[in-house]
Amino acid sequence: MLNNRPNNKLITERIIGEDYAFENLTKIFPSSLILRSDFRILAVSDEIERIFKYRDEDLVGETVMLLMKNEFTKFQNYINDLTHNGFFISQPIVTTDKFGEEVYIKISGFYLGLLSDMNDMLVIIINDLSPIKKYRKKIRQRESEFNELIYRTHHEIKGPVATIKGLLNILARENNNGNRNVMLEMLNQSISLLDRRITNIAQFHEFNTLWDDGGELIDLKQIENEIRNLLSGFSSLKNVELDIQASHLISLNVRFELIRKLLFCLFKAISSLPVIDHKARIGFHFSKYNANLKVTLQLEGFLFDPDLRDRLKAHRYSIEDAIKDDTALRFYVIYNHILNMDGKISYSFGGNSNLSCDIIIPL
């Protein structure tokens, strides 16, 4: 019986040879690295490239320290467990990708020698927790925003309602027509203010519940038509010159529905700005920036309130401002929408009438 036992080395060479390991193990384990015992990277899966934003050729031959960075010592400790036990299970690591963005992962691993005679190879399996962390952060931010909205709504509506009640009580006892007309005008102003507050609250809720990750993938070249269609819907912008540059990005795909909604919000905000120059201009420039879409918006000939300008430059957005002011509401919504896409936005101004805005959106 013992003499008939198959040769393990022969089976290994036939089932899991070294060439096979390089070609197929990262497919069998779709989020994995193959390392030598000296921590040199032998192969990476497509998912690892996505998580860390490196290309295969950037990683193969390098040590895993390139990915683990300051957590490399912790990683070495996990490998020590692997040395003693042959494997380790689900250990957390917080590191950064190629562009310095935080990456939250859980790693586990085993010696390939558990399955074959290739004892100097390690299989490291990586689970990306970053999306979960980001969604939890968004949920906490949204919860905080709505709690503040409820608080601010109470105070913003309470004042006009109290005024209306008081004026109605006085009118019920007032016989002097002159005073009555004055009070009716005050009543009308309070009602208009209340109506504006309620409208802004409704818009805030609408814009903050519309964003999702749905929508088809559409080429950036087609965004030009969308921009022109959006522009035609705002009568205050009908005489403004429009300049769009995106033709060299014909092959770059994005989530069109998210970009379309962002553009709509931008035009809503722009339409609320006074046009003070007959040569007013709106410029859009789309480009690829590392692994991101970069949208540069340039406005010329629009009047910016100094307070709004200061708030935009300092990223000072508040629900209180959004409820009180239509323009502040629209810029607040733009800021929230970009955060929902894990993006960034920055503003710079040239005097009181020119703006340059850079928006970075991960692809």
User: What is the model's pLDDT at position 23?
Assistant: 65
Taking the CA atoms of 307, 308, 312 and 318 in sequence, report the sign of the dihedral they define: positive
User: What is the model's pLDDT at position 204?
Assistant: 59
User: What is the model's pLDDT at position 300?
Assistant: 93
User: What tens digit of pLDDT does each residue of 167-182 get?
Assistant: 777 766 666 556 666 7
Question: In the chain, what are the domains?
Answer: 2-128 (3.30.450.20), 131-210 (1.10.287), 212-363 (3.30.565.10)
CA–CA dist 197, 55 (Å, integer): 51
pLDDT, averaged across the chain = 76
- Select the more confidently predicted residue: 281 or 13: 281
* Mean pLDDT, range 205-222, rounded to an integer: 54
* Mean pLDDT, range 280-296, rounded to an integer: 84
* Mean pLDDT, range 243-257, rounded to an integer: 64
- pTM equals 0.49
Percent of the chain with pLDDT strictly greater than 70: 68
User: What is the model's pLDDT at position 7?
Assistant: 47
Backbone angles phi, psi at 348, to 5 degrees: -140, 150
* Mean pLDDT, range 139-164, rounded to an integer: 67
Q: Are 43 and 25 in contact (CB under 8 A)?
A: yes
Residue 162 C-beta-side C-alpha neighbours within 13 Å: 6
Contacts 24+ apart (CB under 8 A), 63-70: 63/38, 63/39, 64/33, 64/35, 64/39, 64/40, 64/124, 65/39, 66/41, 67/33, 67/95, 68/93, 68/95, 69/95, 69/96, 70/95
